[in-house]
Structure 1
Amino acid sequence: MEPTSDERTTVLVVGAGPVGLTAAAELARHGAQVRLVDALDGPSGEFRAITVHPRTQEHLSAMGVLDRIVDRAQEITAVEFHVRGEARPRVRLTTDDVDSRFRRILDVPQVDTETALREVVAERGVVVEYGTRCEALDQDDDGVTVTLASPEGREQRRYGWVVGADGGHSAIRAAVGVRLEGEFEGECSVLADVDVETELPPTALRLFVDPRGGGGVFPLADGRAKIAARVPRPEPGATPTVGEVQRVVDEQMGGHWRLGTAHWLTYFESRHAQVARYRHGRVLLAGDAAHIHPPAAGQGMNTGIQDAVDLAWKLALVSTGRAHDDLLDTYDAERHPVGAAVVAQTSRLNDLLAADGIGAHLRDLGLRLLGHLPVLGGRLMADMTETTVTYRTGGGRPGAGSPPVAGDHAPDVTDLRTADGDPTHLDVLLRRPGHLLLVVGAEESDLERLQDVLGALGAVVPVRRSSTGATPDAVIDTVEGFARRYGLGDHGFVLVRPDGYVALLSRDLDARPLAEYLSLHHLDVGHEPASRAASRRGRRS
């Protein structure tokens, strides 16, 4: 069969769950041509992922998605560890010191998150083509030939790149001949979305330690909760019941919840695995197609969404000819270690919940230390909420309150305002596509020189002490908190990547480091949209 079309500037995204929807939305936002397909006949209605961590909230805010799910979410401000059903937690960790402007966890049904993402995808001109599965692909140096099957028949088309976001049983992963590597004979757990009655406040995520299995309760809005607990392996084809889940709650979680109507019930097997590489030529894997792990801290969807955000801006630049495809190698370099760390951390936490014998004694000792050493608790909370994710080339982790370095997530700064006086934040500024160059202490000539170097890759935004005489695109920082937080002094700039991570910091206004950075990363500044050119001319006038 010959390809019916040649669309080598288009990215095919396979899988329309949270990861695929995020990839498609971000690709389109950054100027790429996108086709989005899913093998299912319609939205899955799955309930597996509910937890949205602070770092993911920052990304969703920049995408214009967060406001659409907040009203449907239960705000969580603490994570508690309970031992053998005790009502009083052995350890209570709070989100008070999480390094994010969103110092909370949101519990929201996956179906609601997907609905909000589909709305944004549609607004950006991308249609989800359900009932369309990938049967085969063959790639060469110039593109990928894909065989797709749908109710209308089979078709063969050429695309520039393929993103495999089609879950743990990924057809794209199989098509490129790679396998998940890890443990596949995991423990069996039951997962339930049920109405509950309880006297416990719904603002804490509670994890229960018990040698019979352990598990967790994740409160939801409207008197519902997600309950996950390890159980003996059922007979093939068996389905869980509310009564079974109630017994687990009574025996392992202190009986603090009375269960009512079940909205979703299933068994699942916890597995721990990851592919060796995320990039395979013109095919890139993200989310569960690249890594699977237990849901102990609710990190699966978050890690997958962050995969998609990292990948999308890079692939958009490459697919539109604004960057060399070597840039895509940084996707694997940055995200593979994050996936490996999440797999390891969630596996340890999963084992901790059900430890017995000497393991249980060591665990209980660890919990006592955790409860009495706030620095350890803060570090664990930061890791669980993924606010310590960094792409530093030399390793290390961000220090609390210390100036960021290249590769760290760009911290938000309070008291920033627009030239009109409205409050603003870094994630709000990142709603414009492209890189963001925030400049302190610059004259107009400095700004023009920096914009000439940055070109169409982003916007130069002056940070001013006063709104007097400020241009409409300026950010006003009357208390100079931005310069202090980033360690800039009186003059300097910060280049923030489209995904909110620091690309470059400079403590003077010399444009040469910016030019060297763009050259090193093979970013092409030769194309400039008319709208940006007009904006620059307006600023000069």
Structure 2
Amino acid sequence: MSANVSPILIVGAGPTGLSLAIALRQRGARVIVVDRQMQGANTSRAAVIHARTLEVLEELGVTAKLLEEGIIVPKFRVRDRDRLLLDLDFGELPGSYPFTLMLPQDQTEAILRARLQQLGIEVQWATELDTVVQQGDRLVAHLRSPAENIDMHASWVVGCDGLRSKVRQAAEIPFVGGTYRQEFVLADVKMDWPLVRSEVDLFFAPQGLMVVAPLPHDRYRIVATASQPPEQPDMSYIQRLIDERGPSSEPGRINEVIWSSRFHVHHRLAANVICGNIILCGDAAHVHSPAGGQGMNTGIQDAVSLADPLLHAMKGDRSPLLAWADTRQKVARSVVRLTDRMTRLATLRSPAACTVRNGILSTIGRIPSVRDAVALRIAGLDY
């Protein structure tokens, strides 16, 4: 690509922004990546990498390293305390990756950053987008950092900067939806756990949902709905969640809380993902419940599939880019619907409604074609 073409500015150096930068750089594009955080400020957060995402990341040259560092989990099971309601076997999926890979987000980001560095690009940390203005066929972005303020020209600006996206705000794109009443607790722990480490378990209980998933280094990820949880839930708080919602016949026992937090969950979609030469990707374009571990996966798939259409647009042909936007918005709407249904099913309180839900899930589990369709959907292989 010609050196006199203004660079593509990617705002946000999470998995979405890093994946897009790698895909574009591999195609010869000039790329600048900025992130308002200091390097290393990100925590583990998302931890699920689904089969379709592993396929997509092959072209970036990082899948082998992800597999080396993560833990392969071929089973997803839904339980009501000790009762198994639904057993999904990803081992029966088509393709090269018939499983879910569990790896904390900070490790995923480190692998993506290392690949980007191999391609000659360093993230500009502690650099925040202040404003971006369209001037003719390019943009002028004002960036702030502790060292200096910069006005730079960009051919395109891609917002990969999350829920409170400055790029989306600058483009005045509405972010339509709402916020779940419940808060969520997230914790990485070491514990004695009665169930095998080859499965992710979603537990239903009157107090709310809880997900327990294995992580590398004998750790576990716990995600649970909660009412007014502390800002950093401690061992006794997490133990109470395990006691109330996990297996009752053989309860788990927390030995150490490595990291914990609480957060509100939104379900929102950007009204559109292209405005002039501004594009939204990942959480800047769509946010939803963590049920099913879809968030980071959808963002990475947004990013890698954007590279070619964006380069076509830079050469004057916007039609592939508009087709990309239409396709990815349909996927995002589908993901929001799926995760919303999963969350509402998991947080039912009425005993009668819970009985009906459990019966439906048990029936699904006995119909192979339906069970396989659900597994394909969660793995992202139905898009």
TM-score bracket relative to the smaller structure: over 0.9
Q: Which residue of 2 aligns with 1:367?
A: 361
The CA deviation string for residues 2-28 of structure 1, in whole angstroms up to 9 with x for no partner, is xxxx97431000000000000100010
Kindly report which structure 2 residues correspond to 1:35-434, keeping only aligned pairs within 5 A, or say none: 35-83=32-80, 85-86=81-82, 88-234=83-229, 238-254=231-247, 256-319=251-314, 321=315, 324-357=317-350, 358-389=352-383
Q: Distance in 1 between matches of 2:76 and 2:222?
A: 15
Quote the offset at 1:45 in angstroms: 3.0
8 A contact 2:131–2:141 mirrored in 1: yes
Quote the offset at 1:74 in angstroms: 1.2
Quote the offset at 1:313 in angstroms: 2.1
The CA deviation string for residues 336-388 of structure 1, in whole angstroms up to 9 with x for no partner, is 00001001100110111121224213211211211211111111111011100
Q: Distance in 1 between matches of 2:42 and 2:142?
A: 27
Q: Distance in 2 between matches of 1:43 and 1:28?
A: 23
Higher relative contact order (CA 8 A, sep 6+): 2
Q: Distance in 2 between matches of 1:27 and 1:359?
A: 49
Q: Distance in 1 between matches of 2:4 and 2:381?
A: 38
- Percent identity over paired residues: 30
Quote the offset at 1:135 in angstroms: 0.2
Other structure's SS at 1:271 match: strand
Other structure's SS at 1:130 match: coil
Q: Where is the strand percentage greater, Structure 1 or Structure 2? A: 2
Q: Which residue of 2 aligns with 1:10?
A: 7
8 A contact 1:211–1:353 mirrored in 2: no
What letter matches 1:352 in structure 2?
L
8 A contact 2:312–2:321 mirrored in 1: no
TM-score by length of 2: 0.95
8 A contact 2:6–2:153 mirrored in 1: no
Gap regions ≥5 residues in structure 1: 1-5, 390-541
Q: Distance in 2 between matches of 1:38 and 1:186?
A: 30
Q: Distance in 1 between matches of 2:36 and 2:299?
A: 19
What letter matches 1:90 in structure 2?
L
TM-score by length of 1: 0.68
What letter matches 2:280 in structure 1?
L
What letter matches 1:347 in structure 2?
D
- Rg larger for: 1
Q: Distance in 2 between matches of 1:75 and 1:234?
A: 31
Q: Distance in 2 between matches of 1:292 and 1:387?
A: 20
Distance 1:136-1:212 versus aligned 2 partners, 3 A rule: same
Q: Distance in 1 between matches of 2:254 and 2:183?
A: 21
Other structure's SS at 1:71 match: helix
8 A contact 1:7–1:157 mirrored in 2: no
Quote the offset at 1:228 in angstroms: 0.4
Distance 1:312-1:186 versus aligned 2 partners, 3 A rule: farther
What letter matches 2:380 in structure 1?
E
Other structure's SS at 1:117 match: helix
Other structure's SS at 1:294 match: coil
The CA deviation string for residues 137-178 of structure 1, in whole angstroms up to 9 with x for no partner, is 101441011000012211111110001001111111111112
Q: Distance in 1 between matches of 2:4 and 2:174?
A: 28
Q: Distance in 1 between matches of 2:111 and 2:44?
A: 15
